């Protein structure tokens, strides 16, 4: 992955670690948070407990709509 990002392996590794550290801090600081990682699943924080939920490819995906989009219909 580091090659695809045109980065040195050490720099790439540290960048990924920093991203997950910030996500972890945000999830711990807020009571109920959900971080959607799309095809990688999602992180959820419920009352300070951080959990990972993998994407269930067998479950039909619900397309989210905006209020403006529904009004345009």
Mean pLDDT in order along the chain per 10 residues (73 residues)? 75 88 79 81 80 75 65 69
Residue 27: C-alpha distances to residues 1, 18, 24, 32, 63 (Å):
26, 14, 5, 8, 24
d(CA 72, CA 67): 9
pTM exceeds 0.85 = no
pLDDT of residue 61: 55
The encoded tokens of residue 25 equal 């801090």
pLDDT of residue 6: 75
């Amino acid at each position: 992955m580091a090659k695809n990002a045109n980065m040195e392996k050490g720099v790439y590794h540290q960048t990924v670690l920093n991203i997950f550290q910030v996500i972890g801090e945000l999830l711990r600081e807020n009571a109920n948070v959900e971080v959607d990682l799309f095809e990688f699943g999602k992180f959820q924080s419920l009352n300070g407990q951080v959990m990972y939920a993998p994407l269930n490819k067998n479950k039909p995906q619900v397309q989210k709509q905006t209020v403006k989009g529904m009004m345009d219909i």
